[in-house]
Amino acid sequence: MSRSTPRPTPRDPRISKRIGVLVIASLPVAALLGIVVLKLLLMMLFSQISISQAAAGDYKSALATARWNLIANVVEPWRAHYNVGTAELGLELYDDARGSLSYSLQSAPLPDGCYVRTNLALAIEGQGDRASDNDEFDVAIDFYAQAVAMLENMPAECKSEAEAESQSESDEESESASESDGESDGGGTLGEQSEQSEARLGEKGEQAESDLEQQEQQQQQQQEQQETDSAPDGQGEESAGSPLDDLGDRMDAAEQDRTDWDSVDRSQNAPFELPDKPW
């Protein structure tokens, strides 16, 4: 007896229609998910490229790359502003760098915010250096004080991160001491950078205060010289005396002349005689 082949069950057309509707309805959601995934991948790519460019010293390219992550960034927006601010700091655009890093610091979580704060202090220090170069020493002193306060007000988590980073670096150096021959990487830990920055800022602040004092002295001397040059003749020097002293000298001289005149002919009591006639 031969076995009969089972016939396929016909599909209900209503089911097919429902499946088609679900597929069509899910297309926008799938497209949106694809865009989100693509955006995240591009953000990671641009971030890594920007970091590599900044590490190589190509801050101009790093800035252009990092700015792409500012577009429609809802995932860790602080990181994009941090990369932009770091590139601007390398280009010595201190005002722009301070704005970008200040925005990043508002939402940067710890311990990442510690590095944002450190670069922000460097941006403020750069503003102070520029003011000092322009002989605006009072402005420079204020910027240096702001940078010091930024470092001194580090959260406790930053100090813990610095200690952990220092311990980790110490362990790595002890393991590879024979290979490194005791050479430093030149960067230093977060704690070391903070201490170095505070010491440097203290020296710059003292120098700015000294320059400000010299500037004020020079301005005072110039003002005194201008007052001396604009004074009337005979009154520009202290040795010439005051106007009252000069008036007294003139009165004494006039009195002496009058006395001398009276003592010439009147003391002789002689009559006045006409000269002899020539003929």
How is 123-153 classified by DSSP, letter by letter? HHHHHHHHHHHTT-HHHHHHHHHHHHHHHHT
- Asked whether residue 72 is domain-assigned, the answer is yes
The predicted structure's pLDDT at residue 274: 42
Same domain, 84 and 120: no
Give the Cα-Cα-Cα angle 150, 134, 228 (nearest 5 degrees).
125
Chain centroid to CA 8: 79
pTM for the structure as a whole: 0.66
Residue 41 counted as domain residue:
yes
Q: Are residues 74 and 145 in the same domain?
A: no
pLDDT of residue 105: 95
Residues 87 and 116 reside in one and the same domain: no
Six-digit token pair at 190?
Answer: 């977060």
Same domain, 88 and 167: no
Among candidate residues 96, 130, 146, the one where a domain is terminated = 96
Could you list the residue range(s) of the whole structural domain that residue 205 is in? 109-172+191-228
Whole-number pLDDT of residue 59: 95
Give yes or no: residues 114 and 88 share one domain. Answer: no
pLDDT at position 143: 97
Segments of the chain scoring below 70 in pLDDT = 1-17, 20-21, 32, 35-36, 161-188, 231-248, 254, 257-279
Domain termination residue (choose one: 96, 118, 140): 96
pLDDT of residue 235: 53
Within 10 Å of residue 89's Cβ, how many Cβ atoms?
Answer: 24
Q: Is 200 within 8 Å of 226 (Cβ atoms)?
A: no
Q: How many domains does the chain have?
A: 2
One domain, residues 159 and 203: yes
Are 120 and 98 a contacting pair, CB within 8 Å? yes
Residue 207 lies in a domain: yes
Is 201 within a domain? yes
Whether residues 53 and 143 fall in one domain:
no
Q: For residue 165, what pLDDT is reported?
A: 64
Tell me if 103 is assigned to some domain: no
> Quick check: is 252 in a domain?
no
User: Closest Cα partner for 122 from 148, 104, 140?
Assistant: 148
Start-end of H helices in the chain: 13-55, 59-66, 77-90, 94-107, 112-133, 137-152, 156-175, 177-180, 190-230, 243-262
Q: Which residue has the tokens 């009276």?
A: 262
